[in-house]
Structure 1
Amino acid sequence: MILIKNGTLVRPECMKTEQKSIVIENGKIKEIGEGYEDADFEQVIDAKGMMVAPGLIDVHVHYRDPGFTYKEDVITGANAAKKGGFTTIITMANTKPAVDNVETLAYLLEKGKETGIHVIPAAAISKDLKGKELVKMEELKAHGAIGFTDDGMSLMDEKLVVEAMKEAKRLQVPLSFHEEDPYFIENSGVNKGAVSEKLGLGGASAIAEDILVARDGMLAFETGCTINIQHISSRHSVALVKLYKEMGASVFAEAAPHHFSLDETAVLEHGTLAKMNPPLRTKEDQQAIIEGLKDGTIDIIATDHAPHSKEEKEKPFTEAPSGIIGLETSLALGITNLVKKGHLTIEELIAKMTLNPAKLYRLDYGTLEPGKCADVVIFNPDEQWTVDSFVSKASNSPFLGATLTGKVHYTICKGDVVYQN
């Protein structure tokens, strides 16, 4: 048995914090209480000055495995997750081969078992991510796919989208959408505006996102399917999601830490390390994302962890791939830029990184309730640290060198300590 004592419990299931101890036994949270004796436990963790929360859940991660393991693989990606306090990871399907078949899905599930955390693959919506033909969703779900997404690619065929939504509703699984219409993108990775003009790049207009969010929110309302708008970046898209929620559509939205922490001017400072799809947009867009997080329009914080090699990111802007890593900095960016600045309470932040992601994917995680899986993160919300290295294979982050507040000290998954600092 493990005793975690003297910490402040953050309980998103009841949106409160409390000074109590946690007892873990046989991989489960046995009880929450007070007055325990250290001698009665095999391991005692003194969490004085720290917060104890459910293990974090990231619904949007690229592990590049199979096919691009020079960038990242399931094992190294899981190590990055543990350091960041994550115990559950939903992996994206844009691997090589894509996760559009049972064999690739089984490979990921087996490799995930070696990590010590929950690594759960999402499968592709369309075969080979080409947006032409629907995968065998029922078969893939039966073999362990948690949901479906063509992330990295946008679905432009409305007929296919409706077909996928109807099947997903029947199977009671969510669909997650990367919303960028390529017609409105001249050069990806930078917002169409003042910065792209200064750099002599055409950029990616916000309407590329807005038009597909408008379409898919309406189709979700029509079909009754649960959808997730991935890495929302535009203020107009935030307004659309709010409207669809008010209409009664089952629409979730996720924001990446980079989109609430930075704006398009970061590209001038960090170059390709601030290149991502969708891009960093204006200060007004950044503020709208923060407001969306505050008022509940945006339910989830997800990293869109997207590793690339140093050599790839050192190419000219138009040739370098889009994306940054995020697992090791996500919690700290939330504390630094949302909690410490008064935008969210710590309970609200943790709910967007645990309880709400679990609701989207119907997972029985994300709480500290007795009887639940003992997935726990212990962190100091006031400790400052400098981002100087990563356990990920990649280091493509604009936050390298930044000083952040909030440091993970323990990650516990299924009752085992999988990370300790």
Structure 2
Amino acid sequence: MRSALARAVAKATGQALGPYQSAVVRIGFAATWLFFLLREFPHRHELYGPDGPWSWQLAERLIASNRAFTVLMWSDSTLWFETVYALSLLASVLLVLGWRTRAASVLFMIGVLSLQNRSVFMGDGGDNVIHLMAVYLVLTRCAQVWSLDARRARLRGSATAGAAGPVLWALLGAGFAYGVLSGHLGALWLVLFGTLWTGTALWWLADRYEPGGERRATLDVLANLLHNAGMLVITAEVCLIYATAGWYKIQGSRWQDGTALYYPLSLDYFTPWPWLSELVASSGVVVMLLTYGTVLVQVAFPFTLFNRRVKNVLLAVMMLEHAGIAVLLGLPFFSLAMIAADAVFLPTGLLVWVGARVAAAWGRVPLRGAAPRPALSPFPGAAPRTPLLGAPPDPRASNAGEAASGTGP
């Protein structure tokens, strides 16, 4: 018992688990938010800006009561809104690429929370998931693979090389200081941003002046613990979303009689392809199977984490279900957000295989024969220990869901 506990502690402190899964979650959510902001760019003023039905005065009154975080309430000028929207776009791009990922993840979180909390009635279930995951991603070392940070670490031996990182954190620190001095940051956000800024500064100093010292090793252990805790929270959050959705559906009479799917297929708002919706809705058997299948998969999925093969099958079914929702009901960003959340359970072997094929298709890394040239590949298989990225990821390492269930990839 003690030896098993010791092994578990050593694993949790010695490496950041699920490097490939965290990279997919990072890319998935950042890309989803980026595509959403780009699609809504012509309507940004009506959604989150000065022309929206939820006025700045109404938002100010609501935020004064619920203490939600949004930098959009620091000023009611149009220029400030445009700046925040542009920075949100930039942060999404940087997070997809994995450039200065820790700072980019903080900027991404600020952008997501600022826009969504400015107009709380504009979102749906997908926005709620992005809202949560934007916070959790800050805790993770999600750029160990498939990132520009990992590439820089291989080329220069450290991801802190260059002046871009300190400059970026100095700008974030200046914004943090302004929020404190102006009284816009509450106690919780004051502690959160202060801890992030201070921890990053300590990490940079230790990595620059004591790369092999005890302080650096201690910070590495703490970062691994924080990452693994974040991945565990993401895993639990996804299970909770499906379990809650499934059990609430069971209580609905339309889900019980197998007709629930028929009604959204008959609404103009959810029928981007009327002929396809009519085709599906015209078959009572198909509607019943899809309705019952949705409930069954959502209720059963959290229990399948104890069986790797069954979990992988249901995971594929859920991803196909969300793809169907995107096409049938016209909810692409909700579906992309849920697929990105589901990716935390993808097998490591599959992700390594996909990454190798994508790299080969990119034409930079041969699968066989000559030694690969990782410096030229945007899809590396591993990276050395780097600041805010962690130790070299082991392709054999289990993902978060498999680690929780005790099974391997």
TM-score normalised over the length of structure 2:
0.25
Using structure 1 for the length normalisation, give the TM-score: 0.25
Task: Give the number of the structure whose alpha-carbon radius of gyration is greater.
Answer: 2
Q: Whose strand proportion is higher, 1 or 2? A: 1
